Structures are given as structure tokens and as C-alpha cells.
Amino acid sequence: METIAVLTSGGDAPGMNAAIRASVRAALASGLQVYGAKNGFSGLVSGDFQRLHARSVTNILQRGGTMLGTSRSIEFESKEGRKTAAENLKSHSVEGLILIGGQGTAEAALIFHKEYEIPTVVIPASIDNDIPGTDFSVGFDTAVNGAMEAIDRIRDTAESSGRIFFVEVMGRSRGYIALYAGLSGGADAIFIPEEKEDLEALCKRVIAGHKAGKSSFVVVVAEGEEAGGAFSVAERVTKQLGERVEFDYRVTVLGHLQRGGTPSSNDRVLGTILGAAAVEGLGTGALPHLVGEINNNIVFTPLDELESMERELPKDLLHLLHTVGTT
Ligand code: F6P
């Protein structure tokens, strides 16, 4: 193998730049040439390739987002688009791919590999942390810290004004951000896609807390929550509280604020470790794989095994939230 290409795909995540930088520099150190494809799989289809040198990735480690740009490529979903992508890779003599992204990226990588058999390693990067095969994906730590800080701020105003705040965090299919931000931000309750909602239990806690002199509540809701997000949960909870107790409420949707910002040290280190490991993985030939970190060990998981792997929230943390997060 002499030439590889690197791209970032799907939702951007803080620390993607660390993964790009590490994979580029590790590849160059192994004597490989490196291309960066711009804007995810779209760049493969349009042939938007850029030669990357050591200096091309200077001064990006501390930046959020991705220097290569990203997209959720519609073109790459078609057979025709993937054929064009494979031709473009061939014309640039690319023999290996490092793809930095989430679930959708891993799924697209598997389809592409089945068709064209180009050695591929996927680096898990998504603030949602919903990818199996790794304890944490790149970007999650930064997003959680951002959400936690936001909850801290909201608590100040909630306390002062005596309200219930419903804070919506990201997480389409998994409640990782809600769980970690809720736990670290001292939320009174969290609503996540993995658990059946219990509005009545929350109402009872609010009433009991109110009687005991608690003046405010912070409830964290994952966007993918079954009840339809924070606005819906807020409406239903306040409706159920009805005349039993009077509480003014507000909803704050953190949205894409969670995706931006300076990557945390954890995300920079994880991106760096996985970026370098991905290059090593490409050299081993046993592909396509996702490279993750489990219990501090680098683990390569075949992409076709990911589908059947469950991405479960840590039960002990969920339990902890129920026991210490209530009043
Ligand atoms: O990056 C993951 C994620 O943040 C999800 O939680 C969210 O639903 C989605 O991306 C939104 O992304 P976009 O606005 O880019 O479609």
C-alpha cells in the first residue's frame, strides 16, 4: 500500500481534527502518501481530493469541527455514485481508506467495501456516542462537558426564578449525552430513548420536592426521547402537575451548540490514539474494521459485526442517576 485517503463524514464532532492529524502524520511516518477527500463521501464522488502533508494538518488539533468538511452524502447512497467514487480513488492510486464518522459512516463503509474491497478502517466520531465497538467515540466528551456547563447555568436561573427547566440535549437514538450530562449536572430526572418514560413518577417527585421546600427542578431530555423531545415532555409534565402544584416552566434546546467548540483533552487524545491505530490497522490487511478503545485497549471490530452489537447505556450509571439524582 502506497497511498491512502482520509475523510470525515456525518455529523461533525470535536476531536475529528485530532484524528485527521494523527492519521495523516502516522501515515506519512510509514512512508504513505495521503489524500484528504473534502466534505465526506461527497468528495469521493466529485473527486475533490487534496494532498495532505505534515504541514497541512498544523494548528488544527485545538479546533472544533473538521478541516476536511463533512456531509451526509446523498450521492454516495446510489450504486452509480459509489462507482464514480471508486473510479476517483483508483485514478488517485488510493489503496486504503480511513473514514472518521458515526454509525452512518460505518454502514456506508461496509456497503462500499463489499462492492470494491478497498481496505478500510473507520474511526468512531460522533457526539452521540452511539457506535458499538468502542467505549467512547470522538466528540462525546466535549459535547457532554458543554451540556453540563449549560445545565449549571440553567440551574442558576432555575433556582432564582423557582421554575422547572426542561433541557433538551442531542442523541437521536441513544441517551448517552443525557445520562452523562444529567449525572454530572445534577439533573432531577432524565428522559432517554432507552427507557420507558415515567411522567407520573416525575410529577410525584416534583410535588414531594415542592412540599419539602425545593424551589426548582432541572429535567434533561434526549432529543430522540419517545415522547418527542423536551417541549412535548414539558407540556405533558406540567399538564399532569395541573392544579396539584403550581410551577412555571421553561424549555431550553441546546441543539448544535453541543457539536461545536474546542475539543476536550480526552477527545484530542482519543482522536490521536485512534488516528494512529487506524493507519496500523490498514497495514494489517484484515479489513474492513472499526477501530475503538475498550477498557484502554485498542480493539478492531469487523464492520459486519457492528450491526448485531447492542450499544447499551451503562446500567450502573442509570441506576446511580435514579438513586442520587432525585430529591
Ligand atoms: O452528530 C449527531 C447528531 O448531533 C444527532 O444527535 C442529531 O440528531 C443530528 O446529529 C443532527 O445533525 P444535523 O443537523 O447535522 O442533521
Encode pLDDT of 37-83 as tens digits: 999 999 999 999 999 999 999 999 999 999 999 999 899 999 999 99
Which tens digit of pLDDT belongs to each residue from 187-214? 998 999 888 878 888 888 888 888 888 8
Topology at the third CATH level for domain 3-139+263-306: Rossmann fold (3.40.50)
- Predicted pLDDT at 227: 67
Which tens digit of pLDDT belongs to each residue from 250-268? 999 999 999 999 999 999 9
**Best of 103, 128, 137, 144 for a ligand 1 pocket test (most atoms within 8 Å of beta carbon):** 128
Which tens digit of pLDDT belongs to each residue from 109-163? 999 999 999 999 999 999 999 999 999 999 999 999 999 999 999 999 999 988 9
Query: What letter represents residue 303's amino acid?
Result: L
For the chain, give every residue range classified as CATH 3.40.50.460. Answer: 141-260
Helices (H), 185-260: 199-211, 230-241
Q: Cα separation of 253 and 231, whole Å?
A: 9
pLDDT of 225 over the 90 cut: no
- Predicted pLDDT at 142: 98
Q: Is 258 in the pocket of ligand 1 (CB under 6 A)?
A: no
Q: Is 129 in the pocket of ligand 1 (CB under 6 A)?
A: no
- Predicted pLDDT at 197: 75
**CA-to-CA dists, residue 252 to 145, 180, 306, angstroms:** 17, 18, 34
pLDDT of 326 over the 70 cut: no
Q: Cα separation of 176 and 195, whole Å?
A: 12
**What are the percentages of helix, strand and coil residues in the chain, rounded to 5?**
45, 20, 35
Q: Is 170 in the pocket of ligand 1 (CB under 6 A)?
A: yes
- Predicted pLDDT at 259: 96
User: Is the pLDDT higher at 318 or at 136?
Assistant: 136
How would residue 246 be classed by pLDDT, with cut points 50, 70 and 90?
confident
Distance 11 CA to ligand 1 centre (A): 6
Q: Is 104 in the pocket of ligand 1 (CB under 6 A)?
A: no
Distance 13 CA to ligand 1 centre (A): 10
Which tens digit of pLDDT belongs to each residue from 276-288? 999 999 988 767 9
Distance 144 CA to ligand 1 centre (A): 14
- Predicted pLDDT at 9: 97
Cell representation of residue 166: 426542561
Q: Cα separation of 30 and 15, whole Å?
A: 23
141-260 belongs to which homologous superfamily?
Answer: Phosphofructokinase domain (3.40.50.460)
- Predicted pLDDT at 209: 86
Which tens digit of pLDDT belongs to each residue from 148-192? 999 999 999 999 988 999 999 999 889 999 999 999 999 998 999
Among the atoms of ligand 1, which is closest to the Cα of residue 256? 4
Q: Is 103 in the pocket of ligand 1 (CB under 6 A)?
A: no
Catalytic residue among 12, 128, 141, 188: 128
Q: What is the pTM of this model?
A: 0.94
Which tens digit of pLDDT belongs to each residue from 273-317? 999 999 999 988 767 999 999 999 999 999 999 988 988 888 888
The SS3 of residue 105 is helix
**Best of 170, 174, 256 for a ligand 1 pocket test (most atoms within 8 Å of beta carbon):** 170
Q: Is 128 in the pocket of ligand 1 (CB under 6 A)?
A: yes
For the chain, give every residue range classified as CATH 3.40.50.450. Answer: 3-139+263-306
**CA-to-CA dists, residue 299 to 16, 289, 311, angstroms:** 19, 9, 16
Which tens digit of pLDDT belongs to each residue from 92-115? 999 999 999 999 999 999 999 999
Q: Is 229 in the pocket of ligand 1 (CB under 6 A)?
A: no
Question: Is 128 a known active-site residue?
Answer: yes
Distance 157 CA to ligand 1 centre (A): 27
Q: Is 127 in the pocket of ligand 1 (CB under 6 A)?
A: yes
Nearest residue by C-alpha to atom 4 in ligand 1? 170
Q: Cα separation of 18 and 59, whole Å?
A: 10
**Best of 253, 259, 267, 311 for a ligand 1 pocket test (most atoms within 8 Å of beta carbon):** 259
- Predicted pLDDT at 327: 47
Q: Cα separation of 316 and 287, whole Å?
A: 34
* Beta pairing, strands 96-101 & 3-8: parallel
Among the atoms of ligand 1, which is closest to the Cα of residue 12? 1
Distance 209 CA to ligand 1 centre (A): 35
Which tens digit of pLDDT belongs to each residue from 13-48? 999 999 999 999 999 999 999 999 999 999 999 999
